[in-house]
């Protein structure tokens, strides 16, 4: 972006000034921002032409001083033009520093990225999850390897990150790293946060993302049908560990809680709601938003089974939840025993609550969003799939409404 620079020589009087020559200063003004330096020369106020920014007179010493100021002005103007041509960040301060020979430390992409990750690391458990940090660390690794692959360099100035850099990086992620579409786009978006930091600090003036519009593909979210859910609930499981995992999974199918949220769920988070019945009031680990969920009879029955469980009593937990890895491993065993031919994972419970249990039974999407703890209803709309039986029921209602109309029309024609 082209910047405007104004150069002004002026006399700078000190507060203690009484008489005598005054130091001449050069002021740099770039887009309304100022910076100044001393010229090292002085002039009597009576001989100074403030409008011209030069000393009045024709004597040799006057001509020598004015020629010196002319050279300073020409040098400053030349440096400004050179910085613009090199696509450098041009401010009053950077022009002044270049004029004085003070080169600013070049901001590099890897250095800014590493600084961001270090700050994020110190906030894990407060503002960020460990998984979020891991995603940014993986993105940094991909960025370093891409620069080595594409440019044979280990780092680069942030002002060299361009639209072409992004498209080449995306190609690298897809072709060399074999990332799927959505994974590649996620890494591009992670890098986007680093670029926004650079723009916000003035280290980068042109946003390389300006015309870059990556698109994620819709992902098929697996859910259990009501028939599969019933089969899972009715199946007699004689192994205690499998029975407990099945119960906790079903509990989440009827509450919409994610693994981490049911893992940390305490008995104190079970309260009496506005209707006098039991509700779960808990903050989601992922977004720190409050989820308010009425406890359905199925979930209430499961809670009762584990009221006196040793693990629950020792930790004040509502349910005896195992590690996510063990839960998912046991769910695969349970799926085989129940003839469920879907890759059963714990997060399917949350999807099932959103679709099979609530939306497909007529619960408004706004209510589902509140129970899931979503900050935007757009997130809930991802879950809003309509199953075949719901379409069938809706069309049957339509058919019943149209049937009397059809009979009336026939009578009218007759």
Domains of the chain, by residue range, sit at 5-99, 109-200, 226-383
pLDDT at res. 87: 67
Q: Residue 384's pLDDT is what?
A: 65
Adjacent-strand bridge partners of 128: 124
Mean pLDDT of all residues in 155-163: 89
Over 60: is that where the pLDDT of 411 sits? no
Mean per-residue pLDDT, 301-326: 91
More confident position, 355 or 382: 355
Instruction: Record the pTM.
Output: 0.59
CA distance 227 to 179: 35
Yes or no: say if 208 and 166 are a contact pair by the CB < 8 Å rule: yes
Q: Measured in Å, how far apart are the chain's first and last C-alpha atoms?
A: 78
Answer whether residue 111 shows pLDDT above 60: yes
Give the pLDDT mean for 18-25: 90
The pLDDT-based confidence of 405 (bands split at 50, 70, 90) is low
Domain 226-383 architecture: Orthogonal Bundle (1.10)
CA distances for 59 relative to 46, 48, 287, angstroms: 15, 14, 75
Tokens 């060399």 belong to residue: 176
> Within a 13 Å sphere around the CA of 71, how many CA atoms are in the beta-carbon half?
7
Q: Average pLDDT, stretch 88-110? A: 79
To the nearest 10°, report the CA torsion of 163, 164, 170, 175.
Answer: 170
SS3 labels along 278-311: EEEEEECCCCCCEEEEECCHHHHHHHHHCCCCHH
pLDDT level of residue 144 (50, 70, 90 thresholds): very high
Q: What top-level class would CATH report for the domain 109-200?
A: mainly alpha
């Amino acid at each position: 972006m082209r910047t405007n620079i104004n150069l002004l020589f002026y006399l700078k009087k000190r507060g203690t000034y009484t008489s005598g020559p005054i130091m001449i200063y050069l002021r740099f003004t770039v887009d309304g921002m100022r910076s100044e330096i001393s010229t090292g020369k002085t002039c009597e106020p009576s001989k100074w032409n403030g409008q011209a920014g030069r000393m009045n007179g024709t004597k040799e010493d006057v001509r020598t001083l004015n020629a010196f100021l002319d050279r300073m002005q020409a040098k400053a103007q030349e440096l400004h033009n050179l910085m613009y041509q090199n696509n450098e960040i041009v401010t009053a301060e950077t022009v002044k520093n270049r004029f004085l020979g003070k080169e600013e430390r070049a901001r590099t992409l890897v250095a800014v990225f590493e600084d961001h990750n270090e700050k994020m690391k110190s906030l894990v458990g407060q503002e960020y999850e460990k998984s979020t940090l891991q995603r940014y660390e993986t993105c940094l690794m991909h960025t370093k390897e891409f620069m080595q692959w594409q440019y044979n360099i280990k780092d680069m100035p942030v002002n060299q990150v361009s639209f072409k850099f992004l498209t080449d990086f995306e190609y690298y992620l897809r072709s060399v790293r074999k990332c799927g579409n959505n994974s590649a786009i996620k890494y591009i978006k992670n890098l986007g946060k680093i670029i926004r930091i650079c723009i916000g600090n003035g280290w980068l003036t042109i946003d390389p993302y300006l015309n870059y519009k990556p698109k994620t593909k819709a992902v098929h979210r697996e859910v259990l049908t009501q028939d599969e859910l019933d089969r899972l609930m009715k199946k007699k499981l004689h192994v205690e560990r499998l029975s407990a995992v099945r119960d906790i999974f079903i509990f989440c199918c009827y509450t919409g809680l994610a693994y981490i949220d049911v893992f940390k769920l305490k008995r104190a988070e079970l309260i009496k709601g506005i209707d006098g019945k039991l509700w779960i009031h808990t903050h989601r680990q992922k977004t720190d938003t409050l989820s308010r969920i009425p406890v359905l009879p199925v979930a209430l029955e499961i809670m009762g089974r584990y009221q006196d469980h040793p693990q629950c009593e020792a930790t004040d937990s509502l349910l005896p939840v195992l590690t996510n890895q063990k839960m998912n491993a046991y769910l695969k065993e349970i799926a085989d025993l129940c003839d469920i031919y879907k890759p059963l994972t714990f997060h399917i419970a949350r999807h099932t609550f959103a679709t099979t249990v609530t939306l497909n039974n007529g619960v408004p999407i706004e209510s589902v969003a509140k129970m899931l703890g979503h900050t935007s209803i757009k997130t809930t709309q991802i879950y809003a799939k309509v199953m075949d039986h719901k379409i069938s029921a809706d069309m049957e209602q339509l058919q019943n409404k149209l049937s009397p109309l059809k009979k009336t029309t026939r009578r009218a024609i007759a």
